[in-house]
Structure 1
Amino acid sequence: MTTFSDFKYLCGVLACAAALTGCETTKPVIPKGPAPLAELLNQGTQASAAGRKEEAIGYWKQATAAYSGDKAPWANIAQSRYDSGQYGEAIVSAQEVLLRDPNDKAANTIIVSAGLRLANRALGDLSRQNALIGQVRADSQDQIRQLRDNMGDAAPAAGPRKLQSETRTIKPVKDNNPLNSLRDTPKVDTDKPLPKPRETEVKTPFDLLR
């Protein structure tokens, strides 16, 4: 006959068994971290080479979120945007590179080249609209002068204008004296006897038979 104490003991054993079974079947959930930076960069490069530009940008943006202190993803985005003609976004991404490395030459190059392209495009639009006047024109000319100074390509100052008489070529006067042609003629020694002409030996038909 089962007593209450035996029933209590049996319930305890079943509870322990159930707890042990649960521990064996339930595994702890480990949070998955971001992919390695090199892997994200490589996936983006492969997608870009295959012509999937936006997919490549997606991989590189994942890298910027996971590795915010690294400039490599931003550099790839800036170059891709520049190659696609998206100069405004290229400048923004290149500035992100400079925030992490102020001495990055590639980022500065993208900013300069993309900025000049945008400025040239805008100036062309204003010129076609006859709107390049007043302060806009003055500011544009000032920026162009500063750009030439920074490039060491300043326009040379105009020199004094030469008179026509100063640049005229003076032709030598030709002397028509017929005796001048004899000045450089070598002198012939008339006192020296002329050599005798060599007599030609005449042979008869009989001489040829000798």
Structure 2
Amino acid sequence: MTFRVIPPSLACALLLSACATDGPQPRQDRPVAASLESAMTEAARATASGQQDKALGLLRNAASTYPAEKGPWLTMAQMKFDRASYGEAILAAQEALQRDPADQVGSSIIAVSGLRLSTKALADLSQQNNLSGSLRDEAQGLARMLRTSLGEDVLVPPVRASKPQQGAPVRRGAPQARPAAPSGADPFGSIR
């Protein structure tokens, strides 16, 4: 029995070529990302079928796949707004506005969501009778700004009695003075 000696250079070449092959399995390419339009369509279908969480997941994926697009963020903001998750709606709308600062839908979602959150917080404070000092002054300032923006003299119209009280004259055209509310009864009386 004679052993044949393989030259070292040939042995190295054989070893290197063995490492370079993939073996019998072919390489799999990465999956192609869905187009933005198809992702938005699929999210709309999921929303229509009542699968809100699936739709939000699809929109989050689309937002990460297409980071420069505002569409997924606006749709998420609208969904969160519809669910009364106003804080999350504001965050998603802000993301959309970072991509398009002139977007009116995003600005509207932020404005209305912020007002709803503020209204709830002020109502909670009112129930606790804790609206005083700088909070009261700030609430009055915001009410003045809202009245000016909306072109209204009164933000919340007073509830009118169905019939005038007996013996009390009813004046038409002149606003009636409101009686002063007892302290702690209605902290918002002066901002209406």
Q: Name the TM-score, length of structure 2 as normaliser.
A: 0.67
Q: Displacement of 1:96 after TM fit? A: 0.7
Moved over 3 A (4+): 2-5, 22-26
Letter in 1 for 2:142: Q
RMSD: 2.8
Query: After superposition, where does 1:55-74 map in structure 2 within 5 Å?
Result: 55-74=54-73
Partners of 2:149 and 2:115 in 1: how far apart? 14
Partners of 2:4 and 2:142 in 1: how far apart? 99
Partners of 1:91 and 1:3 in 2: how far apart? 79
Q: Which residue of 2 aligns with 1:91?
A: 90
Letter in 2 for 1:112: A
Paired residue secondary structure (1:34): coil
Higher relative contact order (CA 8 A, sep 6+): 2
Query: After superposition, where does 1:37-116 map in structure 2 within 5 Å?
Result: 37-116=36-115
Q: Which residue of 2 aligns with 1:164?
A: none
Residue-pair matches, total: 147
Q: Displacement of 1:52 after TM fit? A: 1.0
Distance 1:95 1:23, change over 3 A: closer
Distance 1:27 1:116, change over 3 A: same
State the Cα deviation string for residues 128-181 of structure 1 (Å, max 9, x = none): 0000111111110001111222223346xxxxxxxxxxxxxxxxxxxxxxxxxx
Q: Name the TM-score, length of structure 1 as normaliser.
A: 0.62
Distance 1:127 1:4, change over 3 A: closer
Distance 1:23 1:69, change over 3 A: closer
Structure whose alpha-carbon radius of gyration is higher: 1
Partners of 1:38 and 1:58 in 2: how far apart? 15
Partners of 1:3 and 1:130 in 2: how far apart? 101
Partners of 2:25 and 2:50 in 1: how far apart? 45
State the Cα deviation string for residues 63-116 of structure 1 (Å, max 9, x = none): 111100000000110000000010110011111111111111111111111111
Consecutive unaligned residues in structure 1, runs of 5 or more: 156-210
Consecutive unaligned residues in structure 2, runs of 5 or more: 155-192
Partners of 2:68 and 2:153 in 1: how far apart? 40
Letter in 2 for 1:131: N
Letter in 2 for 1:83: D
Percent of pairs with identical residues: 35
Distance 1:33 1:149, change over 3 A: same
